Amino acid sequence: MRYDLLAGAAQPAVSSIVMRPPCILVFDSGVGGLTVHEEIARARPDARFVYAADDAAFPYGALGEDALRGRVMAVMERLIARFSPDLVVVACNTASTIVLPALRARFAIPFVGTVPAVKAAAAASASRIIAVLATPGTVARDYTRELINSFASDCEVALVGSTRLASLAEAHLRGEPVDDAAIAAEIAPCFIERRRGDGRVARTDVISLSCTHYPLLRARFEALAPWPVRFIDPAPAIARRVGQLLGPAMSHGAGGTAHAVFTSGRGVTQRLRAAFSARGFSGLEAQEEALALN
Ligand code: DGL
C-alpha cells in the first residue's frame, strides 16, 4: 500500500484553528529526533515543544512490524492524552514507515512523518550509485523498497541496515567515547565502487541518512568516509512541512520552551541534560515518565 508519509496532505493545515503558539510533539525511540527538533525549532521559535523518547523500547530498529505498531500506538495514546499537541512529528524513519496510517486513522491531529530521502538522494547523484543508511527495520520495509523503485530505479542503491549506529549515536550525544573503527565498519557497506564499460570508475556519491540518529554522527561520517560523499538529512524538509501545516511563527510565542519525556523512567543524567540544553531546550524541563507497557 502506498501512503503519504511526509506530506500529511490529506489533513487540513491547522493554522486556521490554532490562534495561539502551537504545541508540537516530537517523537522518537531515543535522542535521534533531536536532529529534527532542532530544525523545527528554528522554523517555529514560538512553539511549545514536547520531546518524547520511547527509550524503554529502544532500539525500534530491532522490533518486528506488529510489535512496533502496537508499541507506538500505545505510547502515542498516552502522550496525546497528556499533552494535547496540535501536531505530532514522528521523527523516526523506523516507526514512520510502518505506523503512520494507523496513527492518522486513530487521531484527528496532523502527523508529519520521516521517511528515507531516496528521491532527494537520487536527484543529487551524478554517479547513479547511492546508499540508504538506515536501521534494519527501515531497510526491511516494503515502503522503503517502493521508494527506491519509484525514485531511484536507474541507480544502484546500497540499502544498508546498521544494527549499531543508533546506539553509537546515543553514546556520542551523551559525550561517551565512540570508536572510529566501530563507526567506519557500520558505514563501509555504503561505499561502492564500480568500473563502467568505458573503463571509468563510478562510486557512491550520495548517502541518505535514513535514521534520525545518524545526523548526530555526521561529522564523524565525513571524517571516516573513504571518499567524499554528500549526506542527505531529511530534517529541513520535515521542518518545512511543519511550517506549511502550522503557518508562520507568531510574535507572542512560548519562546521555544521544551519539555522532554523519557518512557523508561530512568534518571536523566547530567550529560543528557547538557546535550538537550545545547540543542535549544532552553528552560529544559526534563522529566521521566514511565510508560512501561504490558
Ligand atoms: N531514530 C530512529 C529512526 O529514525 C530509529 C532508531 C532505533 O530506535 O532503532 O529510524
Q: How far apart are CA 91 and CA 88, in angstroms?
A: 9
pLDDT at 278: 81
Residue 283 or residue 227, greater confidence:
227
213 in ligand 1 pocket by Cβ < 6 Å? yes
- Percent of the chain, pLDDT > 70? 87
Q: Output the CA 137–ligand 1 centroid distance in Å.
A: 9
> Does the structure show a pLDDT above 90 at 208?
yes
Determine the pLDDT at residue 201. Answer: 96
Average pLDDT of the residues of the chain: 89
Residue 290 pLDDT grade (very low, low, confident, very high; cuts 50, 70, 90): low
CA neighbor of 179 nearest in space, from 223, 232, 135: 223
* Over residues 182-193, mean pLDDT: 98
Q: Which three cell numbers stand for residue 229?
A: 560523499
Whether the CB of 138 sits within 6 Å of ligand 1: yes
51-107 pLDDT, tens digit per residue, is: 999 999 999 999 999 999 999 999 999 999 999 999 999 999 999 999 999 999 999
What percentage of the chain carries pLDDT values higher than 90?
A: 73
**155 annotated active-site:** no
With a cut of 60, say whether residue 183 has pLDDT above it: yes
**Whole-angstrom Cα distance, residue 142 to residue 25?**
27
Q: What is the pLDDT of residue 16?
A: 46
Active-site entry in 23, 92, 155, 190: 92
Ligand 1 atom having least distance to the Cα of 91: 4
pLDDT at 151 over 60: yes
Atom of ligand 1 nearest to the CA of 114: 4
Q: Is the CB–ligand 1 distance for residue 221 below 6 Å? A: no
Catalytic hit among 23, 155, 190, 211: 211
Tell whether ligand 1 has an atom less than 6 A from the beta carbon of residue 92.
Answer: yes
Q: Using 50, 70 and 90 to split pLDDT, how confident is the model at 271?
A: confident
- Among 79, 78, 64, 72, residue whose Cα is nearest residue 95: 72
93 touches ligand 1 (CB under 6 Å)? yes
Is beta strand 201-203 parallel, antiparallel or unpaired with respect to 285-288? unpaired
The region that residue 128 occupies, defined by phi over 0 for left and psi between -120 and 50 for alpha, beta otherwise, is: left
Q: Is the pTM of this model over 0.75?
A: yes
Ligand 1 pocket residue status of 32, Cβ below 6 Å: yes
233 SS3 class: coil
pLDDT band at 275 (very low <50, low <70, confident <90, very high): confident
Predicted pLDDT at 5: 42
Tens of pLDDT, residues 17-36: 456 889 999 999 999 999 99
- Residue with the smallest CA separation from ligand 1 atom 2 is 92
Residues 6+ apart with CB under 8 A from 24: 40, 44, 47, 48, 49, 50, 85, 86, 87, 88, 89, 242, 246
State the pairing for strand pair 201-203/193-195: antiparallel
Catalytic residue at 92? yes
Residue 288 pLDDT > 70, yes or no? no
**Higher per-residue pLDDT: 116 or 283:** 116
For residues 214-237, average pLDDT: 98
Inform me whether the pLDDT recorded for 3 exceeds 60: no
Q: Is 211 in the pocket of ligand 1 (CB under 6 A)?
A: yes
CA of 198 to the centre of ligand 1 (A): 40
How confident is the model at residue 273, as a pLDDT?
A: 82
CB atoms within 10 A of CB 212: 32
Mean pLDDT over residues 129-133, rounded?
Answer: 98
Q: Tell me the CA–centroid distance for residue 271 and ligand 1, in Å.
A: 21
Question: What b/e readout covers 5-38, taking b as 16+ CB neighbours within 10 angstroms?
Answer: bbebeebeeebeebeebbbbbbbbbbbbbbbbbb
